Amino acid sequence: MFLRRMTAIIFLLLFFTLAQAEEPSPLVSMDQFPLHKIGKVAHRRSELIKSSRWGMQFNKYNLPSLDFMLERMAESGVKWARVETRSYPVSPEDGYYKWAGLDSVIYGLRDRKINIFITFDGKALGAWSRSKRPLDRAVIKGWLTFVKKLVERYHQDVKYWEILNEPKINENYVTIVKAASKAIKAIDPQAKILAGSLARVNVAGLRFMLEHGAGPYVNVITYHPYNEFPESCKHTFFVPVKTPEGYMQGGNLVADLRALVEMENRPIALWQGECGYPSAANSASWNGRGPWGEYIQAKWLLRRFLVDFSMDIPVSIYFLLREPQEGERVNAKGLLRYGTWTPKPAYHALQNLTAIFDQRLNHAKKIAAKINVRDAGSFFGVEGAYPESYGAPYSNAKAPTPIEVFAATGSAGNAIVYWQPWRMQEFVKPANIDLAIKSVHIKNPVLVDLLSGDVYTMQHKNSQDSIKVSGVPLTDYPLLIIDKGLVKIAR
């Protein structure tokens, strides 16, 4: 016990020492802007946040110290955790279940005021879940026993249950969803059933599920938008591919998922259940086409989560807290570096986001923004426009992709979020722009760099229902104009 505590203390000291080291700025030539830094965003632990949509996957993967990692979850400020049972020894052995490992995770997250959804392992189903042959009754009966045991043990603390991770969407999967939903709700009628776990926003998979009668058994459809451009599941995006033309319209759209669930007779929510981007080129698992880097990963996380916010997605999950070893390689999508478990810039970016975007800012609003580009910086051609023939949202929009801009609204005030969705780079020279926005009132605006956490005063004019800001940066990740009262500032 003494050795375990000493190990945890050593990890904590190392974490805080390196976490407080000053990171170099990813923005160059910032002296061109009439900004005055007044401090940094003060981070907030999960227990201090009433509610939000932000979450992270929490897997064991031979953790060096469970308490240490649970503390990192709480310090990130997330309010949701996705837990896959395949990461924990909960299968029956010699007639009983091994609960200790999963108990410590579920109760540790609960005590830190983090909501949980559990994703059931399909190991007991073997190849049946992916087979075209009808399910063997004995196989599904054995798996349902496992499901019932989990729900009976944790239903007081867990209300959300996901049926398998990225399954093959076929008739067997629909059968599994129906059977699991009945079994879970027989134990806890208040339970919510999550299904789909749709890799890369699989619209055809959702259509198949609903056509085969899964709708009445499901409360939430989850999807996993792994892609280089987070915006490509919101807009019909031009993405690079290996074709003679070099580019194609890419991405299945969340709007297409929404259109399908809205045809059902009962409400079905859409959650973003898993996403991530690696900070290194040799990452295990999906790693995209690059480029890679720790700032690029942080930019991707901010863009992904705020695209989700702009589409009013109630829960968004990042994969995952720490870099796990997978075979001979490390999965570099984690936010804590393998071995040292020190935070990457993306971890700090997540802290900046969770500290501000809680229940006080809970709605997205489309706005019209007039943008004057003074200096294009690294974004050559940003002041150009697409021809009308390209169609929405590209027609007459800033090239090469439309500038993302929307308002975040809530009972406590408003904010404006904006960025240029180019392919991300480690270091850029920001464009210098003026913004004029109607139908948004911000009484005492400040500019927040969500990557660094820096907070600035700026030149602005506001009236009853509009705001104009002059000489502010535009870069390849979200910046925020927000009422100063919504940001707790650490000086």
| Lowest pLDDT segment from 19-28, 144-153, 268-277 | 19-28
Q: What is the pLDDT of residues 426-459, one digit of tens each?
A: 999 999 999 999 989 899 999 999 999 999 999 9
Hey, what amino acid is at 57?
Q
| CA 166/CA 199 separation, integer angstroms | 6
Query: What's 363-490's CATH class?
Result: mainly beta
Dihedral sign for Cα atoms in the order 8, 11, 15, 16: positive
Domain ranges, ordered by start, for the chain: 45-356, 363-490
pLDDT (mean) for 8-25: 54
For CA atoms 56, 339, 228, 306, the dihedral sign is positive
CB hemisphere CA count around 163 (13 angstroms): 34
Global pTM value: 0.91
How confident is the model over 51-72, as a mean pLDDT?
A: 88
Residue 2 has pLDDT above 60, yes or no: no
> Is the predicted pLDDT of residue 201 greater than 80, yes or no?
yes
Question: pLDDT class for 131, splitting at 50, 70, 90?
Answer: confident
199 secondary structure, DSSP code: E
Please give the CATH superfamily to which domain 45-356 belongs: Glycosidases (3.20.20.80)
pLDDT digits (tens, 9 = 90+) for 338-395: 999 999 999 999 999 999 999 999 899 999 889 999 999 998 877 665 555 555 555 5
Residue ranges with strand state E in 63-166: 80-84, 92-93, 96-97, 115-119, 160-162
CB 131 within 8 A of CB 86: no
Q: What is the pLDDT of residue 248?
A: 47
87: confidence class by pLDDT, cuts 50, 70, 90? confident
Contact 161/191 with Cβ under 8 angstroms?
A: yes
The CA-atom distances, in angstroms, between 221 and each of 17, 126, 313 are 41, 23, 11
Mean pLDDT of the chain: 89
**245-249, 337-341, 461-465: range with highest mean pLDDT:** 337-341
For residue 424, pLDDT over 50 is answered with: yes
Tell me the per-residue pLDDT of 71-82, one tens digit each, with 9 for 90 and over: 999 999 999 999
- For the segment 254-281, the average pLDDT, to the nearest whole number, is 97
Is the pLDDT score of 188 beyond 60?
yes
